[in-house]
Amino acid sequence: MIDYRTFRNTDPPALVDLWNACFTGRGAAYLRGTILLEYFALAKPYFDPAGLVLACVDNHTVGFVLCGFGANAAETGLDTSKGVISLLGVLPAFRGQGIGKALLARGEAYLRGRGAKDLYAGPIPGLNPFQFGLYGGCSSTGFLESDPHARPFFEHNNYQRQTTILVLDRPLDAPLSIADGRFPAFRQRYEIFALPLRKLTWWQDCVAGPIELHEYRMLDKANNEVAARMTLWHMETFAQRWNEHGVGLVDLEVAPALRRQGLAKFFLVQILRHLHEQFFTLIEISVKESSEAALNLFRGIGFQEVDKGHSFLKEPRT
């Protein structure tokens, strides 16, 4: 007999065991205890016990689904019209028995009951209420192909792929040697500074949780204007899984008037050299599959694809 119920305060230890048994791919952090689960899910200000449904057999937790909502346009609160299936897992020994489908149906019912018009599966930026820092790698990248059951499960349950995100890594344990004739002039004109990222929106602050984001800025010496900026974080939550000291690149932006001049390449190379001099051994980035220019940039300086994630949208009911 399978019992489905919502979250109780005594559930975190069982959820940790379930997490570690269900999510064994490279894109999922290994949980040694309940603290990371608390930080990245249960302690969020919008966490609702009714949005975390568990499947139990003889009082043993065998599956769960975690649901939430996306951000409004200003990122000052939730947009409950956008429901998100953030994570769904079933113990391997209990798969193929309809438990995943039953959990999904209960998650969808919860989201619909609170006003969701669109149902998404797989967290991506703006639709990632939970799990940044625990699942997906450097950013929220949907459901990863390193979890081979996710994509066929959601497609079988009438979800269509909306966004595909590539995950790329580059080792940092060897010196970086990249020549470009434009770089000497850039070194004369620009300076790079690093500082903690403070001006976060309410949503960004909720998503990041305890993670401290760092911003690198490239300033024009002549007018002190920001030519480019980059956001990074220390991926220590993945250290045990990877046996690497990783850093995640969340965002890279060049001022519109300065694009297509090689500044992004110059900026990135300088940061990679700086990180190499620290104790980091790996850097990871995520890029939409449709962003050809960004992919060419990263691949051109040695990044290689290690995973791929998908976000899905439920087909409209007829």
pLDDT in tens, 203-216: 999 999 999 999 99
The number of CA neighbours under 13 Å toward the Cβ of 287 is 21
For residue 2, the cross-strand partners are 57
pLDDT < 50 positions in the chain = 318
Q: What is the pLDDT of residue 216?
A: 95
Q: What is the pLDDT of residue 295?
A: 95
Q: What is the pLDDT of residue 318?
A: 46
Interatomic CA distance for residues 7 and 83, integer angstroms: 18
Q: What is the pLDDT of residue 177?
A: 80
Q: What is the pLDDT of residue 317?
A: 62
Give whole-number Cα distances, 78 to 58, 68, 70, 109, 127, in Å.
Answer: 36, 9, 6, 18, 10
* Of residues 254, 243, 176, the one with CA closest to residue 26: 243
Q: What is the pLDDT of residue 173?
A: 87
Query: What is the model's pTM?
Result: 0.92
